[in-house]
Structure 1
Amino acid sequence: MAKQAERARAGKASGGRTAAGRWKLEDAKARFSEVVRHAREDGPQRVTVRGQDAVVVMSVEEFERLAPAKPRPPFVAFMESLHLGGLDLEREADRGRDVEL
């Protein structure tokens, strides 16, 4: 109980931000631009709901570093995945035009 009161006091003193970049949801909503600034400058910011971590706000650079890159299929596999089997792709024999000179 004493720890919760101490955390609440720390959150109010820092404008809603607690230690280690934690924000209560209502504070994060009210000061979203500050949450974003801290995420870009100080690293990921956690947002809590009823005292439990709910989401993390992080910079796009951090996200791209952590998110696995989607492998690109080879061109042939990509074309086969389009399921174009029903299209008529046969060419007619073209012998040119008869032109009088």
Structure 2
Amino acid sequence: MNAWQVQDAKQRFSEVLREAATDGPQVITRHGEEVAVVLSIDLYHQLASPRLELSDYLLHGPDADDLEITRNQSLVRDVDLDELV
């Protein structure tokens, strides 16, 4: 992620936009402090898209009808509880 001072970002705004589209988010700094980020519209849409709630995912998520789940049918092992004390 590149960092640009405000005055450089203003003078080279087209380059900031181009690098945001190709190289990822570009940080804008003022007096050495990060104050803003320029990012591609695709990344913005990805970050701003609504997140699916877990309950909605479970209700409307992938169909598991063809999922085969089998339980291990082996017997449980004997445990001597006196040894644990």
TM-score by length of 1: 0.48
* Counterparts of 1:34 and 1:68, CA distance in 2: 27
Paired-residue identity, %: 43
The correspondence of residues 9-88 of structure 1 with structure 2, limited to 5 A, is: 20-69=1-50
SS in 1 for 2:49: coil
Moved over 6 A (4+): none
Q: Quick check: which has more Rg, 1 or 2?
A: 1
**How many residues are matched?**
52
SS in 2 for 1:69: coil
Which runs of 5 or more structure 1 residues have no equivalent in the other structure? 1-19, 71-101
Give the RMSD, CA atoms, in angstroms.
1.7
Bigger relative contact order, structure 1 or 2 (CA pairs below 8 A, ≥6 apart): 2
Shift of 1:42: 0.2
Shift of 1:54: 0.4
